[in-house]
Amino acid sequence: MRRDELHLVRDVLDTQVRDREERAMGKVDGIGLELREGAPPRVAYFEIDGVTAWSRIGPRFARWAGRIAALWERAGHPYRFTWSQVRELDIDLELDVDAERTAAFDLERWLRDKFVSRLPGGR
């Protein structure tokens, strides 16, 4: 892929995001632009956030998703990253982070603590 021809929507939005150990963190659910006076808009951040994804369908879906996500969300939501954290973009987008330490893993952690580890074989 030629990097000088990156299309935000075609190549980045909805792409699978992985951490440096290739753990699936989520998808690129949204892209935030920064509007600047006297200069063209600039990409400020990318985010992994279910509520953002549902808000692309409609505000009501976003509200429902938000209420459900409140169960497991801790501080730091939504999870946002910048282009400088991207290690590679091929089929998936790989970040130079540890997924466990990010808000993108809140649901994963919550389910692991509340359910998986309490079941036999889930340690």
Partner 1 sequence: MKRLLAIGLGIVTSIGGFLDAGSIATSAQAGAAFGYGLLWAVALGTVCVIFLVEMSGRFAIVSGHTITDAIRKRFGFPALAAPFAVTMLVNLLVLASELGAVCVALELATGIPFQFWAVPVAIALWLLLWVATFDVVEEGTALLGLVTLCFVVAVFKLGAEPAELMRATLVPTLPTEERAHYLFLAVSIVGATIAPYLFLFYSSGAIEDKWDKSYLLPNRVVATLGMLFGAAISMAVIVVAALTLKPQGVRVEDYHQAALMLIPAFGHWGFKLFLASLAIACFGAALELSLASAYAAAQTFGWNWGEDLKPRRAARFSVAYTGFIAVATLIVLAGVNPMKLTLFSMAITAVILPLTVLPFLLLMNDRIYMKDHVNSRFSNVVVVLIVFLSAVLALVAIPLEMFGSQ
Tokens 């954290």: give the residue.
Answer: 85
Angle at 112 between CA 17 and CA 70, to 5 degrees: 75
Among residues 43, 41, 69, the alpha carbon closest in space to that of 55 is found at 69
Site string for partner 1, 70-89 (x = CB under 8 A): --------------------
Binding residues for partner 1, how many (CB under 8 A)? 30
Which residues lie below 8 Å from residue 85, measured CB to CB, with a gap of 6+?
95, 96, 97
Shortest gap between Cβ of 71 and partner 1 (angstroms)? Answer: 13
User: Given the complex with partner 1, which of 40 and 97 has the nearer CB atom?
Assistant: 97
- Amino acid identity of 45? Y
Residue 112 interacting with partner 1 (CB under 8 A): yes
Q: Which residues bind partner 1 (CB under 8 A)?
A: 9, 13-17, 23-27, 29, 48, 50, 53, 56-57, 91, 107-109, 111-112, 115-117, 119, 121-123
